[in-house]
């Protein structure tokens, strides 16, 4: 089960990254260009929200399907924090990705409350781009290619 969930988490991440890039660039370009907010913009932001939440759920399942809890129990947090790979996999990556999903959720929620296009695109541009930066910072690039 662990290998299947790991593979799903890895491949779904490509879709997540693609959608985050599309959503961020779309919001920035349309904010700068002064474009009107349309149904396609809503769908892009919504689909990005959905795929990131699915990725979060897959990541949570992966975390608990792995042996990380026993590693934490056996080694203790002090030793994990000294080990760069374990610290990244157990602490930094999950925490950063949760923050990124929270930012996307906040951005999506805030943009829905705005009545005109410019504030809508501004909320999406700010929150989705910040989330994208966090995701790009904590993707384990050495295992991606």
Cβ-defined contacts of 2-9 (< 8 Å, 24+): 2/62, 2/65, 2/66, 5/58, 5/61, 5/62, 5/65, 6/62, 8/58, 9/55, 9/58, 9/59, 9/62
Q: Which residues in the chain land under pLDDT 70?
A: 144-145
Distance CA 80, CA 88 (A): 9
The predicted pLDDT at position 145 comes to: 63
Q: Model-level pTM greater than 0.95? A: no
The predicted pLDDT at position 143 comes to: 78
Distance CA 108, CA 105 (A): 5
The predicted pLDDT at position 27 comes to: 97
Exposure of 25 in the CB half-sphere (CA atoms within 13 A): 6
- Interacting residues of 39 by C-beta distance below 8 A, sequence separation 6+: none
Give the single-character DSSP code of 34. Answer: T
The predicted pLDDT at position 54 comes to: 98
The predicted pLDDT at position 142 comes to: 80
């Amino acid at each position: 089960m662990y290998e299947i969930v790991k593979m799903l988490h890895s491949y779904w991440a490509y879709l997540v990254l693609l959608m985050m890039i599309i959503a961020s660039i779309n919001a920035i370009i349309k904010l700068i260009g002064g474009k009107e907010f349309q149904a396609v913009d809503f769908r892009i932001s919504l689909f990005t929200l959905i795929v990131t939440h699915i990725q979060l759920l897959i990541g949570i399942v992966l975390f608990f399907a792995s042996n990380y809890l026993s590693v934490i129990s056996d080694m203790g947090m002090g030793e994990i924090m000294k080990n760069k790979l374990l610290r990244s996999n157990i602490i930094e990556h999950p925490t950063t990705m949760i923050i990124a999903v929270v930012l996307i959720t906040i951005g999506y929620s805030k943009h829905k409350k705005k009545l005109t296009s410019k504030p809508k695109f501004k909320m999406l541009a700010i929150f989705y781009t910040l989330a994208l930066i966090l995701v790009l910072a904590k993707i384990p690039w050495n295992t991606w290619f």
